């Protein structure tokens, strides 16, 4: 399998497009994912390698590597006295 930029379990942000990509659901059911952070559930050796679960529509979608971008995960902890 081709080396992928992301792996299963990675959190990624779906890029924002002016119009939905050709390989997306043409009825617009995926458009609400633009700009949202999603988890990659599975990786396949296809042209649409990344499977994500869409909780709003209760369906799985496949995305290309150029549809998503990395998200840096930072945890900040504040104390009450500081």
Distance separating alpha carbons of residues 75 and 61, to the nearest angstrom: 28
Q: How far apart are CA 50 and CA 36, in angstroms?
A: 15
Q: Which residue has the tokens 């296809």?
A: 46
Decide the pairing of beta strands 11-14 and 68-70. Answer: antiparallel
pLDDT attached to residue 68: 95
Terminal-residue alpha carbon distance, the chain: 50
pTM recorded for the entire structure? 0.79
pLDDT at 2: 67
Q: Compute the Cα dihedral for 59, 65, 66, 69 and give only its sign.
A: positive
Q: Tens digit of pLDDT per residue, the chain (82 long)?
A: 567 889 999 999 999 999 889 899 888 899 999 999 999 999 998 889 999 999 998 999 999 999 999 997 677 788 887 6
């Amino acid at each position: 399998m081709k080396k992928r930029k992301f792996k299963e379990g990675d959190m990624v942000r779906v890029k924002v497009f002016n119009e939905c990509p050709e390989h997306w659901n043409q009825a617009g059911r995926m458009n609400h994912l633009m700009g949202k952070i999603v988890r990659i559930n599975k990786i396949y050796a296809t042209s649409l390698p990344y499977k994500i679960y869409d909780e709003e529509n209760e369906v799985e979608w496949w995305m290309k590597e150029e549809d998503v971008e990395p998200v840096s995960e930072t945890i900040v902890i504040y104390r009450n006295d500081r």
